Amino acid sequence: MNRIRLLLLVFCTFLGLVIDAADIGVGSRYWGWLRHVPMGDKICHFGFMFTLSVLSNLALKCRAVSVRPHALLLGTVIVAIVVVGEEISQIWIPGRNFDLLDLTADFIGIAGGELVARRLYPVLSARGDRSRDCIARGGRSVVTSDPSNSAAGRPGEMRPKSGGRRKSSLIAPRRLDVQRAAPQVLPGEGRADFTSSGCWRPQWY
């Protein structure tokens, strides 16, 4: 959600510059070409308010307030109040005029932004929860021994229970006690004796 708040801050700064340029009468230098586009001004009003409504509601985690007979999102209420105040203030600003069509386009954009925010918020929240779980686990997995390997004569082989880097374990090798068989000595040939190195040598009578 920090990214959403950062985007909201950037967009509000941009929108404030647009309104300020329109109030001082230099807006036609930048978007005068919109006059040649059918309903271009209304499309801009819709797009600005739609984006502002989506970002505001997501930043506020789609918190709802009771506005009888419906429950509206808090971001929607705040944006609507600001937009109405900005449109009414144009009555006293030279070069600006109050337009009901502009206000209608604004409200349509705000309503559309609320609908989109209601759909997006559960998806973004689920992704955020999964990311926090992964960070909390630190990518480590629980390692358990496989009983099937122990039964098959391969005890102690470790396998990860879930995804993640496999942990290695030091397993002492099985010590095999092999009984050394004394070499067969034929009668008359002498007897066998083992040296300190483990080799045997015949000793004659």
Angle, CA of 166, 164 and 124, to the nearest 5°: 175
In 10 A of CB 40, how many CB atoms? 13
Q: What is the pLDDT of residue 56?
A: 95
Q: What is the pLDDT of residue 147?
A: 47
Q: What is the pLDDT of residue 149?
A: 47
Q: Which amino acid is at 56?
A: S
Q: What is the pLDDT of residue 1?
A: 66
Q: What is the pLDDT of residue 5?
A: 92
Q: What is the pLDDT of residue 41?
A: 87
Q: What is the pLDDT of residue 39?
A: 85
Q: What is the pLDDT of residue 205?
A: 42
pTM above 0.75, yes or no: no
Q: What is the pLDDT of residue 17?
A: 92
108: exposed, middle or buried (C-beta count within 10 Å: 0-12, 13-18, 19+)? Answer: middle
Cβ-defined contacts of 76-79 (< 8 Å, 24+):
76/110, 76/111, 76/113, 76/114, 79/49, 79/52, 79/53, 79/110, 79/113
Instruction: List, run by run, the mean pLDDT of 10-residue segments along the chain (205 residues).
Output: 89 92 82 82 93 95 84 92 92 87 94 94 82 63 45 48 49 50 52 52 50
| Tokens at 144, concatenated | 């358990």
